[in-house]
Every structure is written in C-alpha cells, then in structure tokens.
A and B are shown apart, each in its own frame.
Chain A
Amino acid sequence: MEAFTQHTGTTVPLMNDNIDTDQIIPKSFLKRIEKTGFGEFLFDEWRYLPDRTPNPEFTLNKPQYKEATILISGDNFGSGSSREHAAWALDDYGFKAVIAGSFSDIFYMNATKNGLLPIVLKPVELDALAGLGAEETITIDLPAQQVITPNGTYSFEIDSTWKHKLVNGLDDIAISLTHDAEIAAYEAKIPAYWQ
C-alpha cells in the first residue's frame, strides 16, 4: 500500500447524504477479477449519458473539477454493499482522500486498506469545504491530523493503529503473521466440537 503523509490538492463537492457503493461503482462492473481499472466506472450511472458520453451536468465532469483529488460529501458515505471496488474506483480515478460527515463502517475500513484517507469533519467545516472554489487547494496532514484550508485548519480523529499503517504504508498481513504463535495458541484452545 502507498504511504499517506501529506497531500495537497483541490476539492470537488458531492454533498448528498448516503452515497452508497452501488452509486460509487455499479455492480455491472464488479465482475472483473483485477483490482485496477475501476476509475473509469466511478459514479458510472451519474457520470455518463446513455450513449456513454460524459454527462455535463454531473459535478465531476465539470472542467474546473477535473484535477480534484479530494472528494467532499455528506453523511453515511459508502453505505450499502461491502464491495472494496468502491475504494478501488475512487483511488483509481485519482482521489487521495474523502472528507465526509460520516462513513459506513465497512467502507471506512476498505478505504484505509487502500491508502485512500477517509476523514470525518463537522457539518460547519464540511459546508466551508463545499464552498471552496475549484482552484483553491487544501492540505491534508495525516501525522498532524489536520485539514488546512484557506478558511481555517480543522482537526480530525483517526485510530492510532490505522494511522500508523497508513503513514508507513504497511502491509497488514505481514504484521499479522508476526502473531502466528498467538493464533496457533488460540486454535489449540478452540472447543473440541469445533476442532
């Protein structure tokens, strides 16, 4: 996983609440067996017209937002299906972070496993971010747990373990395998009816 320390970029707001993973990546694109190439299908049903030309009304397609790397959204972002394809699609499209009012639990974990930083901010802070011009940059400083914007600096919470893994780009499985002796000891104690 790519490490995440600081990132400076522009933002794009999609402020509706409850953006579900069916919107982020429709199921017709879940049949691929690779982790890559999902960016093209991000927000597919909103992003394209029936003839698959870009829908000019959709925020992401507006020229001023083409370079945005930070998505701003409302409450309960990533709700619904557990498909990690949603995180892969956001990452593959070029997003480095999603800042929202709240996240679904499963999406939140999927994002952190892919170096896509999920950040929860307060409604008033989200409103300020949503009001930024497309050319205005903000900086996310993960070690300092801050979002630095032209209008102010906002602090955010993140579990220290997930933060450590993100900042150092660590492979979860390699860490867990160092617990092998504990896993084996646990397995030895499992009740006989489950052995």
Chain B
Amino acid sequence: MGKTLFDKLWEQHVVSGVAGEPQLLYVNLHLIHEVTSPQAFEGLREAGRKVRRPDRTFGTMDHNVPTQDIFNITDLVAKKQIEALQNNCEEFGVTLCDNGSDRQGIVHMVGPETGLTQPGKIIVCGDSHTATHGAFGALAFGIGTSEVEHVFATQCIWQNKPKSMGVKITGKLAKGVYAKDIILALIAKYGVDFGVGHAVEFYGETIENLTMEERMTICNMAIEGGAKMGMMAPDEKTFDYVRGREYAPEDMDAAIADWKKLPSDPDATYDVDLELNADELVPFITWGTNPEMGIPITGTFPEIKDMNDERAYNYMDLKPGQRPSDIEIGYVFIGSCTNGRLSDLEEAARIVKGKKVKEGITAIVVPGSRPVRKAAEKIGLDKIFIEAGFEWREPGCSMCLGMNPDQVPAGVHCASTSNRNFEGRQGKGARTHLCSPAMAATAAIVGTFRDIREELGA
C-alpha cells in the first residue's frame, strides 16, 4: 500500500525506536522565541548541557514586542524576558533576529521568509501555530518548554506517531471568500477537537490552486481543530517560494528531486477522511469563545445546546437568533501569523482604499514581519491604511494574544484576523470575532460585519 506525505516525513526522521512505541525523531529546524525558551535554556545551564546544533536553531522576538515603539519596552517583566533571549542566544551560539533587525517578525513568518522552512524537514517550535510550516510539506508542530530543552540538548524529540487524517477540499472559492473562510468553516463543521491525536493533510484541487500564503493560513489553524500537525504536499509553487531565499539549499536541484517524492502516493489511505466543498462557502465569522463557534455571514447565531454555548453567549453578550450585522465593532486587528502576510494586507487595503474608518473604532494593521512591512510600504499600502484612519504598526504578535501593550478593552467587540477567540485572549473581557482580512477591513469602515461579496461586487 502507498504511503502518505505524513508517513514519508515520519519515516525519514526516525533516529531510534520502533513503530507502535514513542520514537526518537530528528529535528531539522528548531525555531525559538522569547516566551517559551527561557526555562529551557535555564535547564541546560543547570545540567551543564549545550545546544547540540545551534546551527539548526533560530530565534526571533515576537510575542512581547511592542508594535508602536519597539525599542522602548516599558513592561519591565517583558523586557527581562526579551533580554534573556538575547543573552541566551549569545551564550549558546544561536542566531537571533533581534528587535528591529531586517528579518524580525512573528516566528512563523520568519521561517518561510528566510527560506529556513523547506519541504521534508521536521520543524518544531514552542508555539502551537508551528503547523504553519506544514504548508511547505514539512512535518511541523508545537512543543512545550520541556521539549524545547530536549531538542536543544539532543536535536531530537520523542513522539508517538499520531493517526493520519486526510481533509479533502474541493471546489472554487467565490470572490470575497478566502483561505481563512475554508479553515473557519472546516472547524465550525467538525469541531475544535476533530484533529486531536491526528496529523492532518489538507489536499484537493482547492488547495493546489491556493498560493503559498493562503496555504499557510490554513495550516496555521490546524491546531484550532485540535491537530498539532497540519500539512500540504509540496509542489512547484512551494519550490518557487523557497528558491533564492537566504537559507534555501545551494543545490536546489538535488533538494527538489527529493522533495518531489514527498507527496502522498495515489493509493495511500488515511485513518480518517473529511471533506469540505469550497464552492458553497461564504465569508465566515465566529460569534463565540472558541473557533468552532462560527457561522456564515448570511446566518444567525445558533440555539443554545449546552453549558459551553450558554457560557459563550454570556461572555460575548450576544443572543441566539441575532445576526453578524447586529455586532457593534469597537476594535479591528489586521495581522498575526494567520493573516499578517503581504497578500492579506493587499486584500484589506483593496477594501479600505479611499474610505474612512468609522468614528469611534480603533483599527490597527500589524504586518507579521519587517519584510512584509517593507514590501507593503513599497507598494503604498501603509498610506492607504493611514489615510483611512488605521494605525500602521511595527511587526509582532500584537493583538492576537495581548501579551504586549496591544489589547482590546473589556466588553469591546473586535473584528480580528487572528486565530483564537478564547475568553480573554485579546485582553481581559475582550470579545473576539475571527474573520478574513477583507471582512475585518469592512468592519472597520461600516462598524459591523457585512457580506463583503456585496462590497466586492461578487
């Protein structure tokens, strides 16, 4: 029987152990950031250990970074954590994209942009959105800090092989419907834990037709469906994306010859199969406090079916039967490792060009990385946003998780292009609605959610 992309990636990295038991896997790329690494470095120091492969370890600053004045960190505890990463990287010989450097950005932006993210690698990071890199045909997943320390010391990680899941996406996206809507609709359909214990491969004509940036948006949110590993077969688009980047292989031909063998064999099967038809999709938003609590823009909020729904409605101050257009938006956040890429900002800019942010709304655009910020400025997106009344910020995780000064006030509804609408995620009492960049941009202009297909003349 044929092998899946996942089977191949797994087999190619087994250092020790047998099937059916935890196996020791080799890690090709270990990405680190300031929040989940300090205790791991401290553990190394206490045990007198070194980082085995500093050349396969790469650090950046993202979660704590202020996006208004990045060199002026006023939160002293955050400052200490950032300085700890600077000192640790220096002590252990790890390359760091420091604050303000040309390559700095959210860790899941930096990997692809520098060319470190490549097909066939195992990529880990102390961050649950690491599956983003799976869009390149890599086996990428988030790990805890104990595992970060383990990878530092051994360049390997113990894992039980998860079951495989194939998610087939077919059909063509309508104008105004995006990769973000695919993943939100998928999670609304199958729930926030459909992928627990599974490695998910997204495939099908829709996926093949997506750009690399769109593919990353989908893999990024695999964890919101419970799957710590999400991946897609590498193809010519993948190779073209990697080619010419700073850390791309020198011998691209040899690499591509190997990478072409990675896609699932035609006769390979998955343990679980799911499907989604993209033809029928309309723009999605979330109404509740986890990503499965989402509905199409044309829908109404569902009936209360259990205590989880009841709790969510209370927190969000919404009621069953209301519509997305009943939500009064106070904040708009465009950015994050889900939707902070150039194409995301272009889509949002297309909507806001020549319009004004509605009075009373705070709207910020936070490019996911400095390369994105520079590229956007080169084509004048910053001016479009600023003229419309958006704030144009420095790169970082920003309002996706409110660990830095960018937070949504309690009780305020925020249209957000990020990945989590958990209670308190964007700030204590904040009410998050996940959506695509175009939907968030529209919300900034009209003050509520509107079907952007009308806006775009679709």
Residues of A within 8 A of B (CB): 15-18, 20, 22-23, 26-28, 30-35, 45, 75-76, 79-85, 87, 102-106, 109-110, 113-114, 159-162, 172-173, 176-177, 179, 182-183, 186-187, 190-194
B149 at interface (Cβ–Cβ under 8 A)?
Answer: yes
B58 at interface (Cβ–Cβ under 8 A)?
Answer: no
Residues in A with CB closer than 8 Å to B413 are: none
12 extra A-B contacts, CB within 8 A, seeds A35-B145, A106-B228: A18-B308, A27-B63, A27-B401, A31-B81, A32-B81, A79-B193, A104-B196, A105-B226, A106-B128, A162-B22, A179-B154, A193-B250
User: Given A79-B226, A109-B147, A172-B146, is A179 in contact with B77 using a C-beta cutoff of 8 Å?
Assistant: no
Pair A23/B255 contact, Cβ less than 8 Å:
no
Pair B150/A18 contact, Cβ less than 8 Å:
no
Contact with A along B252-266 (1 / 0, CB 8 A): 101100100000000
User: Given A79-B193, A177-B154, A186-B15, is A33 in contact with B81 using a C-beta cutoff of 8 Å?
Assistant: yes
The 8 Å CB contact of A194, one of B28, B39, B52, B77, is B28
Pair A18/B254 contact, Cβ less than 8 Å:
no
Pair B146/A110 contact, Cβ less than 8 Å:
yes
Residue of A nearest to B76 (CB): A31
User: Given A33-B84, A34-B39, A76-B193, is A106 in contact with B154 using a C-beta cutoff of 8 Å?
Assistant: no
Pair A82/B78 contact, Cβ less than 8 Å:
no
The 8 Å CB contact of B428, one of A45, A80, A114, is A45
User: Given A76-B192, A113-B147, is A23 in contact with B422 using a C-beta cutoff of 8 Å?
Assistant: yes
State A6–B308 Cα separation when bound (angstroms): 33
Contact with A along B136-163 (1 / 0, CB 8 A): 0000011111110110011110101010
Rounded to whole Å, the gap between the CB of B224 and the closest CB of chain A is: 8
State A161–B121 Cα separation when bound (angstroms): 26
Contact with A along B56-69 (1 / 0, CB 8 A): 00000001100000
Pair A22/B146 contact, Cβ less than 8 Å:
no
Pair B22/A159 contact, Cβ less than 8 Å:
yes
Residues of B within 8 A of A (CB): 15-16, 21-22, 24, 26, 28, 35-36, 38-39, 42, 47, 49, 52, 63-64, 75, 77-78, 80-81, 84, 121, 126-128, 130, 141-147, 149-150, 153-156, 158, 160, 162, 192-193, 196-197, 223, 226, 228, 249-252, 254-255, 258, 290, 306-308, 311, 401-403, 420, 422-425, 428
Residues in A with CB closer than 8 Å to B75 are: 31
Pair B24/A176 contact, Cβ less than 8 Å:
yes
Pair A183/B154 contact, Cβ less than 8 Å:
yes
Rounded to whole Å, the gap between the CB of B148 and the closest CB of chain A is: 8
State A32–B21 Cα separation when bound (angstroms): 35
Rounded to whole Å, the gap between the CB of A75 and the closest CB of chain B is: 6
Interchain Cβ contacts under 8 Å between A and B, 16 examples: A15-B307, A22-B420, A23-B424, A26-B424, A33-B39, A75-B193, A76-B192, A76-B193, A83-B144, A84-B39, A110-B146, A113-B144, A114-B146, A183-B155, A192-B251, A193-B249
Pair B423/A191 contact, Cβ less than 8 Å:
no
Residues in A with CB closer than 8 Å to B403 are: 27-28, 30-31
State A76–B162 Cα separation when bound (angstroms): 16
Residues in A with CB closer than 8 Å to B307 are: 15-16
The 8 Å CB contact of B78, one of A31, A45, A161, A172, is A31
State A89–B328 Cα separation when bound (angstroms): 36
Residues in A with CB closer than 8 Å to B254 are: 191-193
The 8 Å CB contact of B126, one of A32, A82, A159, is A82
